[in-house]
């Protein structure tokens, strides 16, 4: 079986890493890929947005399946383009793609289907948004409609900070078209976790849970909230809570995504807030969200190909998902430096020493080659995922590995998986 994965970040690296272990697959291609992906797949020199060229490549190479990892790609309706040409592809169709690419569309969809979510209002006018913030007070959540760069999500702790953020988005247009509208939401202090499932359009198969750690990362002229690490499974999960999540969130979400009579087949990541006994859906992702694939796939015992084929063939009810007993901790390493060797990026050192270490995997996000050197040009460079008997052991292993890595501007947060 031949597979093409479209995207070039950490989630695509994790998907390809898992697919490379499949007994069904003998060739993996990736467009555009990165330096880590290039070690286990053939990276092709095509634009991920040139659907005509990609379809020609799929037909010429007799590729059996294409998998979309990036929201930016599937938001351009690649699924419809491939299916019209009879090419098998896993990814969201129109409704699901809009739910991932437009927060306003997603929020309206949740409201229409009575899925519990934070109270919100949408603004295009800075003056009206300003009045609303002053009325509601702080802390308050501000989000761009689109998901640029580091997601475009902000938690303002003061009214003044909120007004500054809104001005940068709506008046200064630092996020361009992605920030033409903003959502202003009620802020909750409850516990946060992510719930991941697979669906074939009829059946929702629960996969696993994780907690994603987010903190501020400089994105242009403003600090935006970005995923900095994750642990799986999520602590404090129980059968009663899972039953509520499935009945109140996941099943209604699938119904909403199928509302245009197009069956959604793929993965669903739901960011949840548990607040005073209530479960609220914060954001819905019709794919693996940032750091989800990197965190959960090393724990998966199943052949990922079997799960994907079952989704596409509406046979997910026949799949029994099995997970390793080990926990996983994933830590993202960011670079604040965007220039280095000839202005092309900063060199990553120490990666070769990690490769032989058991139960530790490096996933590349923003890397490339400069001759024989691996470099990054800023932002999230790589993530390190470690397995352990429990979160504590996996955490210790991950942070000890990070001590072997160095690049200019390297930064990460130190509380991933820390237990009180």
- Helix boundaries (H) for 318-402: 351-354, 391-402
pLDDT of residue 219: 44
Asked if 193 and 275 sit in the same domain, the reply is yes
- 153-161 LR contacts (CB < 8 Å, sep 24+): 153/224, 153/225, 154/222, 154/223, 154/224, 154/225, 155/187, 155/225, 159/133, 159/134
Q: Which residue, 283, 318, 353, sits at the end of a domain?
A: 318
Position 140 in a domain: yes
Domain of 169?
119-185
Nearest residue to 141 via CA among 130, 133, 149, 151:
133
Q: Helices 126-136 and 159-166 meet at what angle, rounded to 10?
A: 160
Asked if 154 and 207 sit in the same domain, the reply is no
Domain count, the chain: 4
Position 101 in a domain: no
pLDDT of residue 221: 43
Position 126 in a domain: yes
Q: Helices 103-112 and 94-101 meet at what angle, rounded to 10?
A: 120
Position 418 in a domain: no
Residue 145 and residue 180 in contact, taking contact as beta carbons nearer than 8 Å: yes
The CA–CA distances, whole Å, from 155 to 109, 180, 189, 214 equal: 23, 19, 11, 11
Residue 9 and residue 365 in contact, taking contact as beta carbons nearer than 8 Å: yes
CATH number of 140's domain: 3.30.1490.20
Contacts of 141 (CB under 8 A, 6+ apart): 118, 153, 154, 155, 156, 183, 184, 185, 186, 187
Quick check: pTM over 0.85?
yes
Which two structure tokens, joined as six digits, stand for 140? 């308050």
Q: Which residues pair with 361 in a beta bridge?
A: 385
The CA–CA distances, whole Å, from 131 to 54, 122, 139, 145 equal: 48, 13, 15, 19
Query: Per the omega criterion (within 30 degrees of 0), is the bond before 233 cis?
Result: yes
Contacts of 9 (CB under 8 A, 6+ apart): 34, 69, 70, 365, 366
Asked if 10 and 55 sit in the same domain, the reply is yes
Asked if 85 and 8 sit in the same domain, the reply is yes
CATH number of 267's domain: 3.30.470.20
Asked if 332 and 293 sit in the same domain, the reply is no
Q: Which residues pair with 411 in a beta bridge?
A: 334
Cα gap 113→252, rounded to integer Å:
7
Q: Which residue, 185, 217, 242, sits at the end of a domain?
A: 185
Position 393 in a domain: yes
Which two structure tokens, joined as six digits, stand for 149? 């760069």
Q: Which residue, 255, 290, 318, sits at the end of a domain?
A: 318
Asked if 82 and 164 sit in the same domain, the reply is no
Asked if 81 and 151 sit in the same domain, the reply is no
The DSSP call for residue 171 is I
Cα gap 347→95, rounded to integer Å:
41
Residue 274 and residue 191 in contact, taking contact as beta carbons nearer than 8 Å: yes
Cα gap 300→303, rounded to integer Å:
8
CATH number of 397's domain: 3.90.600.10
Beta pairing, strands 346-347 & 182-185: unpaired
CATH number of 72's domain: 3.40.50.20
- Classify each residue of 115-144 as buried b or exposed e, where b means 16 or more C-beta atoms within 10 Å of its C-beta: bebbebeebeebeebbebbeebebbbbbbb
Asked if 272 and 203 sit in the same domain, the reply is yes
Positions of the chain with pLDDT under 70: 94, 148-150, 216-225, 260-262, 338, 341-343, 420
Position 420 in a domain: no
Asked if 304 and 346 sit in the same domain, the reply is no
pLDDT of residue 343: 62
pLDDT digits (tens, 9 = 90+) for 333-389: 998 876 776 667 899 999 988 887 889 999 999 998 888 889 998 889 999 999 999
Asked if 195 and 291 sit in the same domain, the reply is yes
The CA–CA distances, whole Å, from 302 to 207, 285, 307 equal: 11, 22, 8
Asked if 286 and 206 sit in the same domain, the reply is yes
Beta pairing, strands 266-275 & 278-285: antiparallel
Position 351 in a domain: yes
Asked if 338 and 304 sit in the same domain, the reply is no
Position 99 in a domain: no
pLDDT of residue 150: 52
């Amino acid at each position: 079986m031949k597979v093409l994965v479209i995207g070039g970040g950490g989630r695509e690296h994790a998907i390809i890493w898992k697919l490379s272990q499949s007994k069904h697959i003998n060739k993996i291609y990736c467009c555009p890929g990165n330096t880590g992906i290039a070690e286990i797949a053939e990276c092709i020199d095509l634009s991920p947005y040139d659907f005509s060229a990609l379809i020609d490549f799929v037909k010429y190479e007799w590729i059996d399946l294409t998998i979309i990892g990036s929201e930016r790609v599937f938001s351009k309706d690649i699924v419809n383009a491939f299916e019209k040409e009879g090419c098998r592809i896993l990814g969201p169709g129109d409704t699901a793609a809009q739910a991932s690419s437009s927060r306003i569309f997603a929020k309206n969809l949740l409201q229409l289907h009575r899925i519990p979510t934070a109270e919100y209002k949408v603004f295009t006018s800075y003056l009206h948004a300003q009045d609303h913030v002053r009325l509601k007070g702080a802390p308050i959540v501000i989000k761009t409609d689109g998901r640029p760069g580091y997601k475009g999500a902000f938690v303002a702790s003061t009214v003044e900070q909120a007004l500054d953020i809104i001005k940068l988005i709506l008046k200064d247009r630092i996020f361009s078209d992605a920030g033409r509208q903003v959502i202003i939401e009620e802020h909750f202090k409850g516990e946060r976790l992510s719930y991941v499932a697979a669906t074939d359009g009829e059946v929702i198969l629960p996969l696993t849970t994780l907690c994603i750690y987010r903190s501020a990362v400089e994105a242009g002229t403003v600090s935006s909230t970005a995923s900095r690490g994750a642990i799986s499974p999520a602590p404090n999960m129980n059968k009663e809570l899972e039953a509520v999540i499935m009945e109140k969130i996941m099943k209604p979400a699938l119904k909403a995504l199928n509302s245009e009579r197009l069956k959604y087949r793929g993965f669903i990541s739901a960011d949840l807030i548990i607040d005073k006994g209530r479960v609220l859906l914060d954001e819905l992702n019709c794919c693996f969200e940032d750091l989800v694939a990197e965190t959960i796939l090393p724990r998966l015992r199943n052949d990922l190909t079997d799960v994907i084929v079952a989704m596409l063939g509406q046979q997910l009810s026949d799949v029994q998902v099995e997970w390793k007993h080990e926990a996983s901790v994933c830590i993202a390493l960011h670079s604040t430096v965007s220039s280095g060797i000839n202005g092309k990026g900063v060199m990553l050192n120490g990666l070769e020493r990690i490769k032989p270490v058991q139960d530790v995997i490096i996933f590349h996000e923003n890397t490339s080659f400069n001759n024989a050197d691996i470099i990054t040009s800023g932002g999230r460079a790589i993530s390190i995922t470690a397995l352990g008997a429990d979160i504590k052991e996996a955490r210790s292993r991950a942070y000890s590995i990070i001590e072997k890595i160095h690049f200019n501007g390297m930064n990460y947060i130190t509380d991933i998986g820390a237990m009180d």
